[in-house]
Amino acid sequence: MAINKVNIISYTNIAKLSGILKANIANLNGISPPSPLFLDTYTGSVAAYSFRELNSSYSGYCVKIKNDAGTDLDVGFSSGYVDTSAISSHCGAGDGKIVTWYDQSGNGEDITQGSTSAMPKLYIGGALNNVNSKLAANFDGNDRLVTAATSLHSGAWYCTTAVKIGNSLASNMQIWNQDDSTGPPVVRIAQYLRTHTSLAARSVMFNTSVANFQNSASPTLSTNTQYQISAYVDTSAQEIKTFVNSVNSNAATSYTGTAATGTHEVAMGSDARTTPGVFFTGDIQEVIMWDSAQSANRSSIESNIDTYYSIP
């Protein structure tokens, strides 16, 4: 058991109790204070999607689910995790599809889908869709979730995700994308996380002259396998690098010019075109992005995610 509030004030908003710094208080009447959540420690996220509770300052729902009857339900958290009992009760023996996956960063970057046929599932045939005992959104190669028009970064960025590649692995499958190359107008910002033609993990960024710079991780990916895929753009070093399970034997790729930014929508599970393509096939458990390269925190962030999702 842990303390969440004292006199109706959230514990995270308390600096002192009776003149004693909160950090020096081990417990109150034998009850321990709550452990910090992931984004309480690694602050500054600009977009964060997960079925675990990430941010003690976030008080909204986790996900909106549509059942086979066409009824939507907003589902919150229970004991630090999405309320799976509410999902099971709502969906019964059928399927549950994601209408909205709410952004826990506090920036309101919720991702949604209005077409039932393009909604990823997290409840399939009467059962939760779990990967390593943790809930996952299943993308069948025709599904996508999209933000409103937004600017996620001012240059540098870092993004990481926990995914499971499905039984089909193709080139250019997009996990997290803010790149519309169909124009006009041409909007090319970044293919933050995707696969490459060599079936490796890859990240692509563009400069303001619309030149692209890519970096792929080694080794290559396999079907039906769970990974953490991450990437960063460092504007100080002017480089981009991609990782699989925190490893990349390839060097970072240098870029020239100024990293592109913009207010195009962002898509999970496809590119961000009006007519989408290069869909992802597999499961997505978590996507988190920061408006910085997170140089000091990358190792710790990835270790936390690997441990939580039991990624090798």
Residue 232 in any domain: the answer is yes
Which amino acid is located at 115 in the chain?
Answer: S
Name the residue with higher pLDDT: 140 or 14: 140
Token code pair at residue 123: 């409840």
Residue 18 in any domain: the answer is no
Contacts of 213 (CB under 8 A, 6+ apart): 204, 205, 206, 207, 240, 253, 254, 255
Confidence of residue 222 (pLDDT cuts 50, 70, 90): very high
3-state helix, strand, coil in the chain (%, to 5): 10, 40, 50
How far separated are the first and last CA of the chain, in Å rounded?
31
Mean pLDDT score of the chain:
92
pLDDT for 63 equals: 98
Over residues 136-184, the pLDDT tens digits come to: 999 999 999 999 999 999 999 999 999 999 999 999 999 999 998 877 7
Residue 158 in any domain: the answer is yes
What does the buried/exposed string (b/e) look like for 121-151 if buried means 16 or more CB atoms within 10 Å of the residue's CB? bbbeeeebbebeebbbbbbbeebbbbbeebe
Confidence of residue 129 (pLDDT cuts 50, 70, 90): very high
Contact 208/258 with Cβ under 8 angstroms?
Answer: yes
Residue 24 in any domain: the answer is no
Residue 300 in any domain: the answer is yes
Task: Report the CATH number at residue 178.
Answer: 2.60.120.200
Residue 268 in any domain: the answer is yes
Token code pair at residue 208: 């303001």
Domain that holds residue 153: 38-308
Model pTM above 0.85: yes
Over residues 33-66, the pLDDT tens digits come to: 568 999 999 999 999 999 999 999 999 999 999 9
Residue 224 in any domain: the answer is yes
Count of beta carbons in the 10 Å neighbourhood of residue 295: 13
Residue 237 in any domain: the answer is yes
Token code pair at residue 138: 């299943």
Over residues 58-77, the pLDDT tens digits come to: 999 999 999 999 999 999 99
pLDDT for 14 equals: 55
| Number of folded domains that form the chain | 1
